[in-house]
Amino acid sequence: MPLAREPMVVLCAAGHRFAGRGGVAWEELPGESFIDFHPDWGPRRAADEAFAAAGARRTVGLEVNDVHSLLELVQEGLGIAVVPHHFSRKPEAARLVAVEVAPVGGRQAVYESVVVLPAARSLSPGRGR
C-alpha cells in the first residue's frame, strides 16, 4: 500500500555550482562526486533507477548508513546527493540547498514509500481475538 510519493532532488552545499539554480538536468550530474546510501537502501535504489532511466552515470564516492551522516557530508562539501525531497526539510539540512531535477521522458524521478501488509491478518488490534 503506497504511503507517500515525492520527487527526488539534488541536495548540495550552499556554495556548490548548482545551489543558485532553479533546476538541473541529469546530463549535468556525471562528473560530480555523490554521497549515497548502501545499494540495498530504498533511496539509493530510487536514485540508481533515476540515473539509469536518464542514461546518466555517476560515481558514488561515499556510502553512509544514516540520513544525518549524508546531510553532514553534503554540508561539508564532500559531494552532492540525489534524495527524496523530504530529506531537505530536516532541521539538519537547513543550510543545504535542494535543486529540482528535470524530468526524463516526461517523467519526474520519484521516491515512493510503501507498507507491506499481511493478506490474511486484520490490522485492528481488538479484532479476531
pLDDT in tens, 26-59: 999 999 999 999 999 999 999 999 999 999 999 9
Average pLDDT (11-22) is 96
Which cell is 67 given?
A: 540520513
Is the model's pLDDT at 122 over the cut of 70? no
Average pLDDT (81-101) is 97
Domains and CATH numbers, the chain: 2-114 (3.40.190.290)
Cβ-based burial of 117 (10 A; exposed 0-12, middle 13-18, buried ≥19): exposed
Average pLDDT (91-98) is 97
What is the rounded distance in angstroms from the CA atom of residue 111 to the CA atom of residue 90?
A: 17
Give percent of the chain above pLDDT 70: 93
Q: What is the 3-state secondary structure (H, E, C) of 13-46?
A: ECCCCCCCCCEECHHHCCCCEEEEECCCCHHHHH
Which cell is 47 given?
A: 536514485
Alpha-helical runs (H) found in the chain: 42-54, 67-75
